[in-house]
Every structure is written in structure tokens, then in C-alpha cells.
């Protein structure tokens, strides 16, 4: 195999000025039985043409390369294609050979690459549904290749293409020029690992840290890590940071890129994304050299993630993307009004008693402080009594442990109702902790409609300092969903906001200050792709609970 530093999507950097290549012989119009039509693409080692068979009229993609090319990838590809034939998303090789100066491969004519489609869309980042479908398909393609003893070793967006109709929802892997068998056909054993410094095979953007930065031997884990970086790239506005300066032109630029890639922490790369992407990247990096990845588990994870966010969960890659279909978490600009009355029945009794005791008569109530104070005190006592009753009932439940068997949505709805009746910070702190536990019950950390409602209720409780003193106040408390509130929100949610919030929460001095942080958290989480609560998010929520206890 060619162990060179040449890679896609980049061409090799060179420290020398001697980049002039020898005079290129022109590619003929006919090669073997094919008439070369338009150029589909060119890579470092050759060009690809749409070509027509002169006898039967069949149309193929003809990959043409000079026989004396220093990186003769066609020569390797023709031995790998037979291993992959028939696998879903694996192109068929129809003919291959050498004619004159030209080495050619005739393969299935396919559609545009993911790179091309994404660039053409002009978007800053890709929608979550499309990335989940790419993840499901690319992981499945890697499983197919790996099951057939082949590593791809050059996973990148340009090497993932869609088929032509009717196969335009299927992602195909192409470019096996750097691919290699990792199971020795004679001994049936995995290729050996080695600590010897070796030339880098792969591409600058997505090749794994182990392979690219540490010169390790590629194995299955590295194909998956490259796929993971590709998914994260698609969900990062302007892409992974080390891709932003373009192809490194000098070895020092390449060294800088390596340094940046090597030191980037998964939690930073995946800030603001559904936690599944960070988990996947960490998983690939923890795999041992010879370990077989759990492909099925991760395909299922990305399917679940898609469905939780209102996408169909089918692996079909539909481009341009369709908006989420059903059960998508509602954005905050949909008013999240409580389903139950603002003042519960038990409290209403206390309120009415309080009002009765005001004994309004003909006296000017507003001027009479004693009446107001006494009524307020009575109302407060009634409310505290009712809360104590509720507290006693609750202590019979397992302390803060969400009951098993109820769905997350039901638990969250119950919790929101309890929170709306909370009368002190200690109760609120307890409910915030319970909220965290419920969200962590299973792998999905999405901010669902019910979870958003909890934050909305919490915000209202915190924002109105009178709420614990005057429960009878039923004026509409400002909600995240209110236009006026949204107008004051920053136009663009910043992905680093949650990281800041987890520090700011420690310094919040009042409930009102906490309310502002909760609102920011809810808004930014809601705006982020996937609406998933990240690790920073959970640390923030724990911080809210701690502050509430301290402010008690």
C-alpha cells in the first residue's frame, strides 16, 4: 500500500518549491471499450469520467490513472473491490485493466458526494436528522467492509457519495485507494500493531488522532473515529476548527493542525450537540487496536436520537432535508402553559380564606397595612400547612428517586406540577435534583416538551420573589415563550453559553438571578441541534440545586 502523506481532501504539502510535474500525456477519448464523456472529479492520483460502453451503451464511472503514477491506487483498488461486491453501498467493479499508459477501473456511476451536497447547500451546519442518517449508514458501511476484512482508511465526506435515482437515499463508500486488508488471508490473523514511526495514511480533516497525530497503525477503531469526527464536523458551525484554515501548505502548518487536533477535547468539540456524538467519539477512542466495534449499538443510538427529535429514524438520506415530522420537542416560542390551573385547589382554599379574613367592608383596604399584613400572614400560613401536608405525603415516596415504571414524560409532568406548588427554595432544590435524575434515567438527554415545561415552571417560581409570600397572585408570569422575553434574548444562541452558565450559577445571589440563568439555559439548549442536555448542562442544573439550598 502507498504509505505516503498524500491525502484527500487535501493535496500533500511540500516544503520544496519543486512542484512542477512532468508533462502530462493527454487522456485519450477512448479507453478499452469506453468512450470518455464528462469529468466527474479528479483526485491526487487520477481522474474519474462518466464513460459509455461503445457496444452495449452502459454508462459507468471510469477511474483513470497513469500507470507510472507515484501513488498507483487503482492497482490496489482492483484487488479490494472483489471483496466488497454485493454489500449495500459498495460500488460494483465491472471491468479493470491497463491500456497503454492508462490504468482504469470501470465502476458503478454514482451521484454527488456528501461534501459536494453540503457545500452546495451553503449552510453553516447540517440538520440533525441528516447527520443521524449519515451516521447510521456510514457505520453500517464500515461494518460491511470490516466484516469482509477490509479497512477503508480514508473516511471523509468526499468519499461518501449518494447513488443515482432510485438509489439516491443510499450512501456509497468510494475510493478504496488507501484501503487495506486487516485480516491476513493466510493466517486469518489481525495485522499486528507496531510502535514504529510510520508515514501517515488518510486525510488531514478526519483521520483519527492515533493515526494522524501519533503515527499508529490504522485498525477498525480508526475508521470509526474518522466517521465520528465527520459527524461532529457536520454539526459544528463552520466545521471542526482545524479544517478552517484550509489545507496545510507547509510542514509547520501541518504540525499546528496536528497539535490542534490532538489537544481538542471531545467535550469541547461536541459542545451544544446531543451527547451521543461525544459518547461515540469517546467510544471509538477507547477501543483497543484489535477490538471489534459494536456497530449495531451505535446504529440504534443514532436511530433513537433521530426519532427523539421528531425524525423518522429511517436510515434513508433525504436531501434536501425535510423538517422533523412528529413528536419533535416544541421550541420555546410555543407557549408552554401549565396544563393545570395556575393555583391548585388546595391553595385556592387558603387564598379564599385569606380574602375572607380581609373583611373588606367599606374600609380602604390599601391604606390599612394591618389588614393586608394579617391577610397575607394567614394566606401564607394556609399555604405552608398545605405544603407540609404535601411534603409528608411525598416523603413516603422513595426520596428523590424517580419511580420505576412511569414514563419520563409522566414523571416530568408530575414534577412540574409539584414545582409549581413549591413554597421554599429547599423544595425547589429537591425538585431540580429530581429533574436531573429523571433526565438521566436512560440514554436520551433530550430537552423534551415536558422537560421544557419544568424549566418554564422553575423559571416562574424563581423570577417572582413574591411567589412564596403571595400565592394568590395569579397574574400571568412571564414565560420563556413570551414574545417580549424572546425579543430580549440574544439573536444567536452561543454554543459556549452553557459552559459559562455552569460557572455563573455559583455566584447567583438571588432567586431572580437564578431565574435569568435558567432562562438562558433553557433557551440555548432549545436552540442547539438536538436539544440535548450536555454534561455542562447537568453540572449547571446541579449548581442551581446547590445555590437554591444555599439561598434558602
Ligand X SMILES: Nc1ncnc2c1ncn2[C@@H]1O[C@H](COP(=O)(O)OP(=O)(O)OP(=O)(O)O)[C@@H](O)[C@H]1O
Q: Catalytic amino acids?
A: 154
Q: By CB under 6 A, what part of segment 53-92 binds ligand X?
A: 61, 63, 73, 91
157 contributes a contact to ligand X by CB under 6 A: no
Q: How far apart are CA 328 and CA 449, in angstroms?
A: 8
Q: By CB under 6 A, what part of segment 164-203 binds ligand X?
A: 174-175, 177
Q: Tell me whether residue 164 or residue 384 sits nearer to ligand X (CB atom).
A: 164
**Candidate ranges 103-111, 245-253, 320-328, 420-428; the one touching ligand X (CB under 6 A):** 103-111
Contact between residue 508 and residue 517 where contact means Cβ atoms under 8 Å apart: yes
Contact between residue 73 and residue 96 where contact means Cβ atoms under 8 Å apart: no
Q: How far apart are CA 203 and CA 7, in angstroms?
A: 5
Q: How far apart are CA 292 and CA 181, in angstroms?
A: 15
| Of the candidates 535, 550, 36, 538, the residue with the CA atom closest to the CA atom of residue 271 | 535
155 contributes a contact to ligand X by CB under 6 A: no
Give the per-residue SS3 of 173-226.
ECCCCCCEECECCCCCCECCCCCCCCCCCCCCCCCCHHHHCCCCCCCHHHHHHH
Q: Tell me whether residue 77 or residue 278 sits nearer to ligand X (CB atom).
A: 77
CA 339 to each of CA 343, 394, 412: distance values in angstroms, whole numbers, following the listed order: 11, 21, 13
158 contributes a contact to ligand X by CB under 6 A: yes
46 contributes a contact to ligand X by CB under 6 A: yes
48 contributes a contact to ligand X by CB under 6 A: yes
Q: How far apart are CA 100 and CA 108, in angstroms?
A: 23
Q: How far apart are CA 13 and CA 74, in angstroms?
A: 22
109 contributes a contact to ligand X by CB under 6 A: yes
Query: Bridge partners of 65?
Result: 103
Neighbours of 238 (CB within 10 A): 10
Q: How far apart are CA 428 and CA 548, in angstroms?
A: 7
| Continuous H helices in 359-402 | 369-395
- Choose which of 12, 32, 40, 441 interacts with ligand X (CB under 6 A): 40
Q: How far is the CB of 104 from ligand X (least distance, A)?
A: 12
Q: How far apart are CA 48 and CA 279, in angstroms?
A: 37
Q: How far is the CB of 158 from ligand X (least distance, A)?
A: 4
44 contributes a contact to ligand X by CB under 6 A: yes
Q: How far apart are CA 439 and CA 350, in angstroms?
A: 34
Q: How far is the CB of 179 from ligand X (least distance, A)?
A: 11
Q: How far is the CB of 175 from ligand X (least distance, A)?
A: 4
**Candidate ranges 102-110, 188-196, 252-260, 447-455; the one touching ligand X (CB under 6 A):** 102-110
**Candidate ranges 44-52, 323-331, 373-381, 524-532; the one touching ligand X (CB under 6 A):** 44-52
Q: How far apart are CA 104 and CA 75, in angstroms?
A: 9
Q: How far is the CB of 204 from ligand X (least distance, A)?
A: 12
Q: How far apart are CA 119 and CA 128, in angstroms?
A: 16
**Candidate ranges 41-49, 359-367, 386-394, 529-537; the one touching ligand X (CB under 6 A):** 41-49
Give the residue at shortest CB distance from ligand X. 43
- Choose which of 34, 43, 444, 505 interacts with ligand X (CB under 6 A): 43
Q: By CB under 6 A, what part of segment 372-401 binds ligand X?
A: none
**Candidate ranges 153-161, 224-232, 378-386, 398-406; the one touching ligand X (CB under 6 A):** 153-161
Burial of 338 (0-12, 13-18, 19+ CB in 10 A): middle
CA 73 to chain centre: 34
- Choose which of 41, 87, 310, 324 interacts with ligand X (CB under 6 A): 41
Q: How far is the CB of 417 from ligand X (least distance, A)?
A: 55
- Choose which of 27, 34, 45, 229 interacts with ligand X (CB under 6 A): 45
Q: How far is the CB of 337 from ligand X (least distance, A)?
A: 51
| Of the candidates 17, 106, 14, the residue with the CA atom closest to the CA atom of residue 62 | 106
103 contributes a contact to ligand X by CB under 6 A: no
Q: By CB under 6 A, what part of segment 489-508 binds ligand X?
A: none
Q: How far is the CB of 159 from ligand X (least distance, A)?
A: 6
**Candidate ranges 43-51, 295-303, 319-327, 438-446; the one touching ligand X (CB under 6 A):** 43-51
Is residue 437 marked as binding? Answer: no
- Choose which of 62, 93, 106, 110 interacts with ligand X (CB under 6 A): 110
Q: Half-sphere exposure of 400 toward its Cβ, with a 13 Å CA cutoff? A: 13
Burial of 353 (0-12, 13-18, 19+ CB in 10 A): middle
Q: Tell me whether residue 157 or residue 382 sits nearer to ligand X (CB atom).
A: 157
Q: Which residues are annotated as a binding site?
A: 63
Annotated binding site for ATP: 63
Binding site for ligand X (CB under 6 A): 8, 40-41, 43-46, 48, 61, 63, 73, 91, 107-110, 113, 158-159, 161, 174-175, 177
Amino acid at each position: 500500500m502507498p504509505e505516503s502523506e498524500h491525502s484527500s481532501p487535501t493535496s500533500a504539502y511540500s516544503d520544496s518549491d519543486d512542484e512542477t510535474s512532468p508533462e502530462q500525456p493527454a487522456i485519450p477519448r477512448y479507453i478499452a471499450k469506453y468512450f470518455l464523456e464528462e469529468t466527474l472529479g479528479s483526485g491526487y492520483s487520477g481522474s474519474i469520467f462518466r464513460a459509455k460502453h461503445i457496444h452495449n451503451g452502459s454508462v459507468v464511472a471510469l477511474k483513470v490513472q497513469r500507470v507510472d503514477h507515484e501513488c498507483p491506487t487503482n492497482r490496489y483498488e482492483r484487488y479490494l473491490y472483489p471483496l466488497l461486491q454485493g454489500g449495500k453501498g459498495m460500488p460494483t467493479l465491472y471491468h479493470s485493466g491497463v491500456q497503454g499508459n492508462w490504468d482504469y477501473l470501470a465502476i458503478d456511476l454514482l451521484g454527488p458526494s456528501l461534501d459536494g451536497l453540503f457545500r452546495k447547500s451553503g449552510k453553516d451546519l447540517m440538520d440533525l436528522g441528516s447527520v443521524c442518517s449519515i451516521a447510521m449508514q456510514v457505520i453500517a458501511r464500515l461494518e460491511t467492509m470490516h466484516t469482509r476484512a477490509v479497512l477503508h482508511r480514508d473516511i471523509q465526506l468526499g468519499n461518501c457519495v449518494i447513488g443515482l435515482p432510485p438509489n439516491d437515499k443510499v450512501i456509497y463508500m468510494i475510493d478504496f485507494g488507501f484501503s487495506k486488508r486487516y485480516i491476513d488471508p493466510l493466517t486469518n490473523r489481525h495485522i499486528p500493531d507496531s510502535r514504529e514511526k510510520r508515514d501517515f495514511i488518510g486525510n488531514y480533516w478526519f483521520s483519527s488522532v492515533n493515526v494522524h497525530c501519533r503515527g499508529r497503525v490504522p485498525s477498525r477503531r480508526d475508521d470509526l473515529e474518522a466517521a465520528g469526527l465527520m459527524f461532529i464536523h457536520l454539526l459544528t458551525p463552520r466545521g471542526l476548527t482545524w479544517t478552517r484554515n484550509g489545507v496545510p501548505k507547509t510542514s509547520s502548518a501541518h504540525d499546528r493542525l496536528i497539535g490542534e487536533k490532538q489537544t481538542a477535547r471531545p467535550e469541547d468539540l461536541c459542545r451544544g450537540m446531543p451527547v451521543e456524538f461525544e459518547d461515540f467519539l469517546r467510544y471509538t477512542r477507547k477501543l483497543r487496536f484489535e477490538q471489534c466495534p459494536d456497530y449495531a449499538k451505535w446504529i440504534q443510538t443514532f436511530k433513537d436520537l433521530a426519532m427523539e427529535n421528531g425524525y423518522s429514524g429511517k436510515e434513508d438520506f433525504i436531501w434536501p432535508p425535510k423538517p422533523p415530522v412528529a413528536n419533535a420537542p416544541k421550541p420555546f416560542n410555543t407557549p408552554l402553559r401549565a396544563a393545570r390551573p395556575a393555583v391548585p385547589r388546595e391553595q385556592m382554599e387558603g387564598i379564599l380564606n385569606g380574602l375572607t379574613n380581609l373583611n373588606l367592608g367599606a374600609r380602604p383596604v390599601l391604606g390599612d397595612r394591618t389588614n393586608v399584613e394579617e391577610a397575607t400572614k394567614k394566606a401564607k400560613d394556609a399555604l405552608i400547612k398545605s405544603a407540609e401536608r404535601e411534603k409528608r405525603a411525598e416523603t413516603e415516596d422513595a426520596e428523590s428517586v424517580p419511580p420505576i415504571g412511569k414514563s419520563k414524560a409522566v414523571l416530568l409532568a408530575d414534577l412540574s406540577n409539584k414545582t409549581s406548588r413549591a413554597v421554599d427554595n429547599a423544595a425547589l432544590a429537591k425538585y431540580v435534583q429530581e429533574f436531573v435524575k429523571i433526565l438521566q434515567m436512560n440514554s436520551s438527554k433530550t430537552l423534551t416538551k415536558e422537560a421544557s415545561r419544568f424549566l418554564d415552571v422553575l423559571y416562574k417560581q424563581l423570577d417572582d420573589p413574591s411567589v412564596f409570600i403571595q400565592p394568590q397572585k395569579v397574574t400571568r408570569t412571564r414565560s420563556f415563550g413570551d414574545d417580549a422575553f424572546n425579543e430580549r434574548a440574544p439573536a444567536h444562541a452561543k454554543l459556549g453559553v452553557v459552559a459559562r452558565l455552569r460557572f455563573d450559577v455559583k455566584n447567583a445571589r438571588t432567586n431572580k438571578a437564578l431565574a435569568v440563568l435558567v432562562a438562558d439555559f433553557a433557551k440555548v439548549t432549545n436552540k442547539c441541534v438536538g436539544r440535548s442536555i450536555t454534561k455542562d448542562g447537568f453540572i449547571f442544573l446541579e449548581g442551581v440545586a446547590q445555590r437554591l439550598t444555599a439561598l434558602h
